[in-house]
Amino acid sequence: MSRTAYLDAFKPAILFALITLAMMLRALPAPAAGAETLTVAGGCFWCVESDFESVPGVIGAVSGYTGGKSANPTYDQVSKGGTGHYEAVQITFDPARVSRETLLNMFFRSVDPTDAGGQFCDRGDSYRTAIFVSNTGEKALAEQAKKEAQRALGQNVVTPILKAGTFYPAEAYHQDYYKGNKLILTRFGPKRQQNAYKAYRKACGRDARVKQLWGSDAPFAGS
């Protein structure tokens, strides 16, 4: 079952949530001095955000859209296709506590990098994996992590390494979705947002596939 199906059940709540966007952005903590960013696409951005915000040394993660040419895209536009954008997450981290190399290796082991058609139950271009880089140093690290993932799997890794462009934060209701406590209506009845997220993640088969592919090397399966 795709995430879009879950969203369709509570679209009336979206307008209210959008009103809080400006307040949420103002409330975001200021990055620590020397903080760096890593932008990745790993299918459902709720899941990627949830995974990486649990990593010591990660300051925060923001769900959004990047990789396409459409300015200020919406979730509906991106999920329907044609914008060229990926669902992505911009991870801000303290390199004194966790390295870019570590995060890249964790990223590959949290997705199915052999799947060129999407991730798990979410299909289509916007759900494909990718790593976005801003300079030659970042590109070299990403290429090394990709080679290591391919060696570890013994399979072809299709995740592209792309030049970073504008990152557009997603709508307010997508941010920190995995830990929200609002009561929403799903096809399974009323659920707290965080419980709806867990039900979606399980139904989508994300953790099952990652465990099948990576075994004990999977860092987040079950989160």
pLDDT given at position 186:
85
Residue 4 has pLDDT above 80, yes or no: no
Residue 127 has pLDDT above 50, yes or no: yes
Q: How confident is the model over 63-70, as a mean pLDDT?
A: 97
138 or 8: which leads in pLDDT: 138
Distances (CA, A) of 196 to 44, 180, 221: 14, 10, 17
Q: How confident is the model over 55-74, as a mean pLDDT?
A: 97
Positions marked catalytic: 44
Q: Are 74 and 87 in contact (CB under 8 A)?
A: no
Residue 30, number of CB atoms within 10 A of its CB: 7
| Residue 3 binned pLDDT confidence (cut-offs 50, 70, 90) | low
